[in-house]
Amino acid sequence: MIREVAIVGVGWSGFRPITPDLSYKELMYEAAVQAYEEAGIDPRRDVDSFVTVAEDYNEGTSIFDEYVPDQLGALHRPVQTISGEGIHGLAAAVMQILTGQFDVVVVEGHSKASNILTLPYILAFAFDPVFNRPLAVHPYYVAGMEMLRYQVESGTSHYECACVAAKNRNNALLNPLAGYGAAISAADVMASEPVAEPLTRLECAGHSDGCITLVLAAGETARALTDTPVWVRGIGWANDTPWLESRPWGEARYAQAAAEMVYRTAGIKSPRAEIDFAEIDDTFAYKELQHLEALNLCPPGAAGEWTAAGGTEIGGEFPVNPSGGALGQGHLLDATGLARVLEVVLQLRGQAGQRQIETAEVGLAFGWRGVPTTGGAAVILSN
Amino acid sequence: MSLLHRIEHPRDALAWEGDMPTLGRYTAGIAGEKFFRAIQEHGQFLGTVCPICEIVYVPPRLYCEQCFEHLDEWIEISPIGWVHTFTLVHLDLDGNPLPEPLPLAFIQLDGADGGLVHFLDEIDPEQIFVGMPVEAVFKDPAERKGSILDIAYFRPV
Ligand SMILES: [Zn+2]
């Protein structure tokens, strides 16, 4: 990249399935204060620009972007809200620093999912209003159909998909931030109630409330602010066709395209050899496997076997979602990808406690916007 | 400085309920209009062709999403296809169990590069398989409204 960019401060609030005590503004304030204190900055003086990610329908407020400046310390400053995945917001912040016009930029994403009383209806409302929405079916049907096609094309068994959920829920037991930790087996996962066959309840991430705030700084500023900057090596994002009628169903082409860009910008030729671990969208268990293959971290069709053999466990050859992922932490709506980034940062700083990976030098985070979308974004970080 | 006070009892945590008023119109568009009129009036599927990419779009579009050319070649598409993938849905939109699992499929239509997402019926859900040949069953002409629901469902051929 044409200018060095580092993450110099992280803050979070949550993550918990419900937060009846805190408004979304207080969740944001709590995470922001922590990030600013860690970075040793005063937002009223030192931050040049703020980027947040949010969807009006998730917030229950139209023109929601107008409601973010006060709790971030962003009054009278450049502020923008992106309706995208958290890592799309990170990409926007990185680009602002790359322009040379901004040295310190803050990224924020949050979830107050527990306040959305009709979440499946909101998701169903994201479907094409003419061709798909009239069917009025629970939106996870798209995940069930994708999962089956992925299994058919890749030869992945249901057991191998269930291993992802078991691994991530067990990893979450080691993560104080995670609300969905459980000592469960793949057999437990497969035996849970069907949601949209073959997908079962324990293969779908529950939801959490929470907020993540990151402070980014340009090279020299970053070195002045901290001894442990986490460097942004590359960033990439892409969409596939939005049409259910034209998409490939078995493959995550948005992830393949985002991967090409993130590896190109990071100068990575052999991802599996040059990256030590990854935090990858696992909104549904099969998604972790499909994304691993699309991100070229294992050969096509090999992710299931690799996972079932323990290769992606914390002590395995290539740990995936040591944080517990969305299955273990709960899905954080638009902030889910930032939770993936947060874990990569904590691992690269050696602050991941019981779940610390020993040789964590380069990590990848990948976020997906969930059903019915085909949008994904990736970032590569190093210490 | 962070939050110094916490609400310590759920009874003290206030919240207000409200809904989002969203009533709108969704224009079918030139391509959508032709597609739905053909279903409504003739029980027929139409698609558009990109001669450059050799892609047949169903539902039809006026542009190719691969090469971005304008498309103006229209063809009739068979109401017969096969199950590319399917699912049995067990929950309604409120998250409650459905009385019977609901079969949905992506039906790849013969002679098209795309297909349609729709219900399957007239089959035991346990008998559905990927690759199963199916055909569209249209509603009675008098009941059709120019909607995707003018297709009642797909059934095995
Ligand atoms: Zn074309």
- How many domains would you assign to chain B? 1
A371 by DSSP, 3-state: which?
Answer: coil
Tokens of A279: 């935090």
Q: What top-level class would CATH report for the domain A5-117+207-225?
A: alpha beta
pLDDT digits (tens, 9 = 90+) for A59-68: 999 999 999 9
What ipTM was reported for this prediction?
0.96
Sign of CA dihedral A370, A374, A375, A377: positive
pLDDT digits (tens, 9 = 90+) for A261-271: 999 999 999 99
pLDDT digits (tens, 9 = 90+) for B8-47: 888 888 999 999 988 999 999 999 999 999 999 999 999 9
Q: How far is the CA of A58 from the centre of ligand 1 (A)?
A: 36
Determine the average pLDDT of the residues in A39-57: 98
To the nearest whole Å, the CA of A23 is away from the closest chain B CA by 9
* pLDDT above 70 for B1: no
* pLDDT above 70 for A207: yes
Tokens of A170: 């067990």
The DSSP code for B37 is H
How high is the mean pLDDT of chain B? 95
Q: Residue B88 falls within a domain, yes or no? A: yes
Q: How far is the CA of B71 from the centre of ligand 1 (A)?
A: 8
In chain A, where do the E strands start and end?
Answer: 5-16, 49-53, 79-82, 104-112, 194-196, 199-200, 209-218, 230-239, 277-280, 362-368, 375-382
Residue A10: the pLDDT is: 98
Q: How far is the CA of A149 from the centre of ligand 1 (A)?
A: 25
Q: Residue B152 falls within a domain, yes or no? A: yes
* pLDDT above 80 for B2: no
Residues of chain A in contact with residue B93, where contact means CB-CB under 8 angstroms, are 120-121, 124, 136-138
Cβ pair B104:A145 closer than 8 A: yes
> The CATH number of the domain where B145 resides is what?
2.40.50.140
pLDDT digits (tens, 9 = 90+) for A142-184: 999 999 999 999 999 999 999 999 999 999 999 999 999 999 9
Q: What phi and psi, each to the nearest 5 degrees, are found at residue B109?
A: -90, 140
Residue B78: the pLDDT is: 94
pLDDT digits (tens, 9 = 90+) for A308-321: 999 999 999 999 99
Cβ pair B87:A117 closer than 8 A: no
Using a 10 angstrom Cβ sphere, with 0-12 exposed, 13-18 middle and 19 or more buried, the burial of residue A31 is buried
For chain B, say whether A30 makes contact (Cβ under 8 Å): yes
Q: Which residue range forms the structural domain that includes residue B112?
A: 29-156
Q: Residue B23 falls within a domain, yes or no? A: no
Tokens of A94: 């990185």
CB atoms closer than 10 angstroms to residue A381: 26
Determine the average pLDDT of the residues in B74-88: 98
Partner-chain residue, chosen from A124, A199, A245, that has the shortest CB–CB distance to B116: A245
Q: What phi and psi, each to the nearest 5 degrees, are found at residue B102?
A: -105, 115
For residue A207, list its beta bridge partners: A331
Residue A312: the pLDDT is: 98
How high is the mean pLDDT of chain A? 97
Determine the average pLDDT of the residues in A256-281: 98
* Helical axes A141-154 vs A285-294, angle rounded to 10°: 50
To the nearest whole Å, the CA of A44 is away from the closest chain B CA by 14
For chain B, say whether A244 makes contact (Cβ under 8 Å): yes
Cβ pair A245:B10 closer than 8 A: no
Determine the average pLDDT of the residues in A246-253: 96
- pLDDT above 70 coverage of chain A, percent: 100
- Picking from A244, A47, A112, the residue whose alpha carbon sits closest to that of residue B58 is A244
